[in-house]
Each structure stands twice: as C-alpha cells, then as structure tokens.
Amino acid sequence: MTDARVLCPGSFDPITLGHMDIIVRARDLFGSVLVGVGRNNQKKYLFGEQRIELVREALADIDGVEVEEIDGLLVDFAAARGITTVVKGLRFGADFDFELQMAHMNRGLTGLETVLLPASADYLTLSSTILRQVMQLGGDFSRYVPANVERAFERLRERSA
C-alpha cells in the first residue's frame, strides 16, 4: 500500500456491491479514497439527489474513504483536491474502450492519471443500468446492492404506489 489519495468517480445510481469492491480495493492499494458522485444534468437518475447520501451511508464504516459530489469537470475536481490519480473499475465488454478514451482525455487535459482495476468475478457483468431495470420490474436485486439501497428503493416504490 502506498500513502496516496485517489479518486473513484461515478454516478452511483445506485451504488452497488461491485462499486464498493473497487473502492475498498483502491483504498487497500493507495491508502485513501475520495469517492466522487458525479452530477450530469443530461441524465435522469432513479435516486436523484439521494445518490450522494446513499453512497455515504453504504461506505460509512469503511476507513480511509470519503464522499463528495462532483460538479463540473472531473479533472478540475481532482486538481482542486490535489489528487493526481483516478481509479475506475473495468467490467466485461465495452468498458475498456470508454475508460481508455476518458483516461487519455483526462491525462491530456491536466495530466490526471487513471488506474483501471478489473472487476471481481462476482461483479464482472454487474451494471447499474440493468440493475435499475430489475428493480423497477420487481426482481430480486438484494445480492447486488448494500442494504441501505434496498431500503431506499422500497421507500421509492411505496411513494409511487
């Protein structure tokens, strides 16, 4: 383990056990992780502004992990906090192409480096997009999310019923 602070960004809609696995592994490798919950006004989020609180709750008992909202460019957010490295999870399929493009853009803009960690076998194909569909269609999603996300979705479902 080194003694560096790295950034693990994402939209986390919702945070999954796969996200949490990458965050903990990044903390174990680098020492400290800032989880950046991104905001994209072009996206329609299932959990909306609640996402940052769900991430904070899910990660509250994990030492060496902090959570902040990202507003604006990732490279500017990282630079303002003295962070020089981003850690992203890499799943099976198209993640590599997208993440490689983002890594090159971020490095070209400010020199921000990207470390890509392969997803653990249990989460290799886990996607928040597919998970949201399962949730909305009444499937059992409990083995993929922390308990606080399960409870938050039940509250959403009750309000819309």
Known catalytic residue: 160? no
Catalytic residue among 39, 56, 81, 91: 91
Please tell me whether residue 148 adopts helix, strand or coil conformation.
helix
CA–CA dist 113, 115 (Å, integer): 7
Known catalytic residue: 159? no
Q: DSSP letters along 34-50, please?
A: EEEEE--TTS--SSTTH
Catalytic residue among 5, 19, 27, 88: 19
Catalytic residue among 43, 44, 143, 159: 43
Half-sphere exposure of 34 (CA within 13 A, CB side): 20
Known catalytic residue: 19? yes
Kindly report the number of other CB atoms within 10 A of residue 109's CB atom: 13
Please report, as a single letter, which amino acid is at residue 121: A
Known catalytic residue: 44? no
Catalytic annotation, residues: 19, 43, 91, 128
